[in-house]
């Protein structure tokens, strides 16, 4: 094929168009895949937030109903009203053991009107120190039940503080709390995702944290992150539970960090913050969702779509070339053959007119030109003088 021919240039143009079109399709589908994967990740974060809130609401109702029942316990109220710590401990320690085992209540304390700890069931020897937890502070100030999250020495707890009265006399507040570290395990069962609970280090004593981890037979992970510490993690690989951003930069509604491939698996990573009872962001839950199945389905759909589009583009190109070949190149070749014969002296070969399109018009004009040219030649031949007759021999001679 002549490299200067229109056909060669047209084929090259079609091949280049196919290549650019294929690249554009792949790029578009890649962007679509990333958008779809991010949408799946956003849905995972939203689902996780909903699961967390449901667990928190159920836990809050449990604490509220338990505290309401305690407020009706006259023996307990009497012991608290008379500041009889031993009697109050005797009245509550059995119930505390039951609540801790069956309901996950890990914190139970009484705070007097002066704002100091009167009795802490988890450590009865600890009393007399000022309480600065927002739930208790607000309960003492408003004499109304206050509920919210707060950081403890071993994790993050949902706490509820209720005022206690002896008749009209305000005695102080009773507070219960449940560590939400166990929430992540429940959420994993509900959603299938992995979770990590991050806590801000503000307000946590490193020594108490190390001691609490030791009691739980867990390694001391205090130094793994500069500003945060992992309180709970359902993933076996802690490297994929890294959180680089600060809690203050996180979106309230939760956000997707990225979508990444680890080996043959595809994961989406997201996070949402949790505010404590004072409105300060004190924790965040990291969401790790294995979206390999969805990613595989999306890639398969993309492959099918690419195959169909490429096949249609190739078919369209072949049909276009066939149309050009039939409507243009074959007819031009016929004109060229006739023109070559005319140049060689063959004036009798006619050019067929094969349509009313541009090439057909050109065929018609070229045939008219051939006929005119033939007429001119015939007329010129007719006007030419006859050749003189040869001289006759002298008969006499």
Going by their DSSP bridges, the two strands 194-200 and 281-290 should be labelled as antiparallel
Q: Rounded distance, CA 230 to CA 331, Å?
A: 79
Q: How many CB atoms lie within 10 A of CB 242?
A: 13
The confidence score (pLDDT) of residue 120 equals 93
Cα–Cα dist 383/205, whole Å: 124
How confident is the model at residue 246, as a pLDDT?
73
pLDDT at residue number 251 = 84
More confident residue, 100 or 4: 100
Q: Does 220 have pLDDT greater than 90?
A: no
| Cβ-defined contacts of 92-101 (< 8 Å, 24+) | 92/119, 92/121, 93/121, 93/124, 96/121, 99/66, 99/176
- Tokens 């069931």 map to which residue? 121
Mean pLDDT of the chain: 84
pLDDT confidence bin for 3, thresholds 50/70/90: low
Q: Are 159 and 177 in contact (CB under 8 A)?
A: yes
Q: Domains for the chain: give ranges and CATH numbers.
A: 38-290 (3.30.450.20), 297-380 (no CATH)
* pLDDT reported for residue 143: 95
- Tell me the three-class secondary structure of 94-136, residue by residue: HHHHHHHHHCCEEEEEEEECCCEEEEECCCCCCCCCECCCHHH
Length of the chain in terms of residues written: 397
The secondary element (H helix, E strand) that includes residue 300 is helix 292-324
Residue 80: pLDDT band (50, 70, 90) is: very high
pTM: 0.71
What is the pLDDT confidence band of residue 390, given thresholds at 50, 70 and 90?
low
Is pLDDT of 211 > 90? no
Residue 397: predicted pLDDT: 42
Pair of tokens at residue 225: 């992150």
For residues 284 and 228, give the distance between their C-alpha atoms in angstroms, rounded to a whole number: 9
- C-alpha 45/C-alpha 51 separation (Å) is 10
Residues 339/366, Cβ–Cβ less than 8 Å? yes
pLDDT classification of 66: cutoffs 50, 70, 90: very high
62 Cβ partners below 8 Å, 6+ apart?
Answer: 103, 178
Label residue 362 by pLDDT band (50, 70, 90).
confident
pLDDT of residue 245 exceeding 70: no
């Amino acid at each position: 094929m002549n490299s200067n021919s229109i056909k060669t240039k047209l084929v090259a143009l079609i091949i280049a168009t196919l290549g650019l079109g294929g690249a554009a399709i792949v790029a578009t589908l890649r962007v679509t895949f990333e958008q779809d994967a991010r949408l799946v990740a956003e849905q995972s974060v939203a689902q996780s937030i909903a699961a967390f809130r449901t667990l928190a609401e159920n836990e809050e109702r449990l604490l509220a109903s338990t505290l309401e029942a305690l407020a009706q316990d006259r023996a307990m109220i009497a012991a608290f009203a008379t500041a009889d710590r031993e009697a109050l401990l005797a009245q509550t320690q059995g119930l505390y053991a039951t609540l801790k085992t069956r309901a996950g209540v890990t914190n139970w304390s009484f705070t007097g009107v002066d704002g100091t700890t009167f009795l802490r069931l988890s450590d009865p020897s600890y009393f007399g120190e000022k309480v600065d937890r927002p739930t208790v502070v607000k309960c003492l100030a408003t004499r109304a039940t206050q509920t919210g999250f707060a950081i403890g020495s071993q994790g993050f707890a949902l706490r509820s503080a209720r005022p206690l009265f002896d008749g009209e006399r305000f005695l102080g507040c009773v507070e219960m709390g449940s560590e939400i570290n166990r929430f992540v395990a429940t959420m994993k069962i509900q959603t299938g995702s992995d979770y990590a609970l991050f806590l801000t280090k503000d307000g946590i004593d490193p020594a108490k944290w190390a001691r609490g981890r030791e009691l739980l037979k867990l390694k001391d992970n205090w130094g793994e992150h500069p500003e945060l510490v992992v309180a709970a993690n359902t993933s076996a690989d802690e490297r994929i539970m890294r959180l680089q951003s600060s809690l203050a930069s996180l979106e309230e509604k939760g956000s997707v960090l990225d979508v990444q491939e680890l080996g043959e698996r595809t994961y989406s990573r997201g996070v949402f913050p949790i505010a404590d009872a004072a409105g300060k962001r004190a924790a965040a839950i990291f969401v790790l969702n294995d979206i390999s199945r969805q990613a595989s389905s999306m890639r398969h759909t993309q492959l099918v779509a690419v195959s169909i589009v490429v096949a249609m583009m190739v078919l369209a190109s072949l049909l276009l070339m066939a149309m050009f070949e039939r409507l243009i190149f074959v007819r031009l070749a016929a004109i060229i053959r006739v023109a070559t014969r005319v140049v060689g002296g063959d004036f009798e070969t006619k050019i067929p007119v094969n349509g009313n399109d541009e090439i057909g018009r050109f065929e018609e004009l070229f045939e008219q030109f051939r006929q005119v040219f033939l007429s001119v030649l015939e007329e010129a031949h007719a006007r030419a003088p006859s050749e003189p007759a040869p001289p006759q021999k002298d008969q006499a001679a």
